[in-house]
């Protein structure tokens, strides 16, 4: 009977591979959202990406063809803060947004271009250069 494989199957090889060392581009560890003088660390981890994809039943990038609804952006922010801000509720994120918009002049367009897109970039969805192009295209609209 043949082995049908599996995720735990590792084929042994005696062939040596030469890997060329190239300069590694460093990704920033977090994106920061500063509200009322406090920096909030934002970065999506695999577990929180999984929660978001299950909640919205689609890949996060599919939701970014246009500016997503505020509720979706705030949920992404909540997920990105979750590992670093214990017990952070959606209501707290809404309150942060309200303060940021009312007291610091923020708006939904800036939330998308200055918070969501850079957070996705540091989370490995695309490179910083791609994020810069997205933000520039959005500013030209």
The CA-based dihedral angle spanning residues 55, 116, 83, 88, taken in that order and rounded to the nearest 10 degrees: -80
What average pLDDT score do residues 43-62 get?
90
Per the CB < 8 A criterion, the answer to whether 55 and 17 are in contact is no
Cα separation, 71 vs 50, whole angstroms = 18
Element (H, E) at 41: strand 38-42
Q: What is the pLDDT of residue 139?
A: 61
The Cα–Cα gap between 104 and 47 comes to: 32
Q: Percent of the chain having pLDDT more than 70?
A: 76
Beta pairing, strands 31-35 & 38-42: antiparallel
- pLDDT level of residue 36 (50, 70, 90 thresholds): very high
**pTM, to two decimals:** 0.74
Dump pLDDT digits (tens) for 109-134: 999 989 998 898 888 887 777 767 77
Count of Cβ atoms closer than 10 Å to residue 46 Cβ: 9
The pLDDT, as a whole number, for residue 5 is 46
CB 31 within 8 A of CB 43: yes
> Residue 90 — pLDDT band, cuts 50, 70, 90?
very high
Contact in structure between 60 and 80 (CB atoms under 8 Å): no
For 46, 67, 76, 89, the CA distances from 51, given in Å and listed in that order, are 9, 20, 10, 15
Predicted local confidence at residue 21, as pLDDT? 54
């Amino acid at each position: 009977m043949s082995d049908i494989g599996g995720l735990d199957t590792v084929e042994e090889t005696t062939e040596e591979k030469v890997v060329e060392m190239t300069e590694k581009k460093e990704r920033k560890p977090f994106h920061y959202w500063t509200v009322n003088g406090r920096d909030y660390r934002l970065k999506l981890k695999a577990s929180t990406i999984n929660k978001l994809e299950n909640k919205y039943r689609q890949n996060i990038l599919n939701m970014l063809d246009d500016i997503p609804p505020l509720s979706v952006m705030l949920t992404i922010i909540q997920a990105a803060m979750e590992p670093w801000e214990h017990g952070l509720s959606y209501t707290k994120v809404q309150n942060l947004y309200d303060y940021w918009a009312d007291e610091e002049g923020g708006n939904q367009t800036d939330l998308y271009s200055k918070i969501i897109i850079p957070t996705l970039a540091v989370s490995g969805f695309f490179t910083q250069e791609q994020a810069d192009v997205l933000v520039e295209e959005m500013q030209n609209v």
